[in-house]
Amino acid sequence: MVVGVLGFHLLWAYQSRHLTKYLLPRCTILGYCGMGLITLSGKGHAIHFHHLYVGLALAMWADANHMLSAALLAIGAGIFCQVGD
């Protein structure tokens, strides 16, 4: 479901002719985090993803004023705010 909603957002951004403005900030954030992970893993540190990072990575893709965008934001925020062990 999440992949389909992400695909909808990419298609929506492409059709509304602002794909670059949609992708650039999000890919920059993911690239920055990815470079940090590569740097830490190269130095022998153990990498552990907390659910809040996964939730943030999903929620930041929600952009359109559409029900699917609200669903993606709700899923990402739910994972971000998940409480548990």
Tens of pLDDT, residue by residue over 3-57, are 888 888 889 889 989 899 989 999 999 899 888 888 888 887 777 777 778 888 8
Check if the beta carbon of residue 80 is closer than 8 Å to that of residue 56. Answer: yes
Range of the domain at 45: 2-80
**What's the whole-model pTM score?**
0.70
Tell which wins on pLDDT, 27 or 82: 27
The total number of structural domains in the chain stands at: 1
Q: How far is CA 15 from CA 9, 10, 83, in A?
A: 10, 9, 38
Residue 72 lies in a domain: yes
With beta carbons less than 8 A apart as the criterion, state whether 61 and 72 touch.
yes
Q: Tell me if 7 is assigned to some domain.
A: yes
Domain contains 85: no
